[in-house]
Every structure is written in structure tokens, then in C-alpha cells.
Homo-oligomer: A and B are copies of this chain.
Amino acid sequence: MTHPLMEVDGAGLSEQDRRDLIRGVLERIGDKWSVVVICQLGDSTRRFNELRRMSEPITQRMLSATLRGLERDGLVTRTVFDTKPPRVDYALTPRGHTLLEIVRTLAGWAEDNAAGILHSRTAFDAR
């Protein structure tokens, strides 16, 4: 039997380490654009400027940085075609797709609860 806290890399993890680990991963989807980009890549492979338009008002710099971060974490693949003009395709990896499902759940929750949350905020601020 495997101890729950020893599953990651074989070393023992404290509750503290566990939270750090989760936070480290959540920072990826906690940033300003990752969730948006992941959602846009959900249906199909996309090219850079295609993503840029779909994710407006993202800046070129931030799209580039976001994609690099997602690629670094093995959530997105980057495929370069050596044509002219250049063409680069981005797509979700299998790991990225498992995250997409959760992110869609989260997005659904956000939509379902948006009205209630906005109402709560108004009530809270009124005081």
C-alpha cells in the first residue's frame, strides 16, 4: 500500500509541502490568461494569431508568455512549420485535455453562480 503523502516523487511530503505543490500548479491556471487559452484550444489546434484574436484583448507578449508556460508544463504542444510565411500550431496535450475538463467545470460554475455572486457583492458593499 502506498501512503497518500508519498505518491509524488517517492519522498515524504508534509501537509505544508502538499499545499505548496498544489499552489505551484494552480498558479499556472491562476494567472490572467491560461484558462482562456486552454479553453480556446479545447476544440481544435490553433495558430498563434488565431488564438490572439480569439483571446482578445490579450497582448502578443502575454499570449507568447502564456503559451510558453503551458508548453513548459506539458499542457500544450508547439509545432513549427518551416514555410513562408511561418506557421506555428498549438494544441492541448492529453494532460492539457484532462485539465480542460476541470476548467470547463469551473467555467460552468462561474457562469451558474455569476448572478448570485454579483448580488452578494452588491449587498456586501451596500454596508
Per-residue CB proximity of A90-114 to B under 8 Å, as 1/0?
0000010011001001110111111
Q: From known contacts A31-B30, A36-B19, A74-B120, infer whether A109 and B99 are also in contact, taking CB-CB under 8 Å.
A: yes
Kindly state whether residue A22 has any CB partner on chain B within 8 Å: yes
Contact of A21 (CB < 8 Å), options: B8, B29, B72, B114: B114
Number of copies: 2
Kindly state whether residue A63 has any CB partner on chain B within 8 Å: no
A59 to nearest B CB, angstroms?
15
Kindly list chain B residues whose C-beta atoms are within 8 Å of the C-beta of A35.
22-23, 26
Interface range on chain A (Cβ under 8 Å from partner): 35 or more
Task: Tell me the chain A residues, 27-59 only, with Cβ under 8 Å from chain B.
Answer: 29-32, 35-36, 56
Contact of A111 (CB < 8 Å), options: B16, B21, B29, B117: B21
Q: Are B74 and A9 in contact (CB under 8 A)?
A: no
A73–B111 Cα distance when bound, in Å, is 14
Kindly state whether residue A1 has any CB partner on chain B within 8 Å: no
Q: Are A102 and B99 in contact (CB under 8 A)?
A: no
Kindly list chain B residues whose C-beta atoms are within 8 Å of the C-beta of A7.
111
Contact of A114 (CB < 8 Å), options: B25, B31, B71, B111: B25
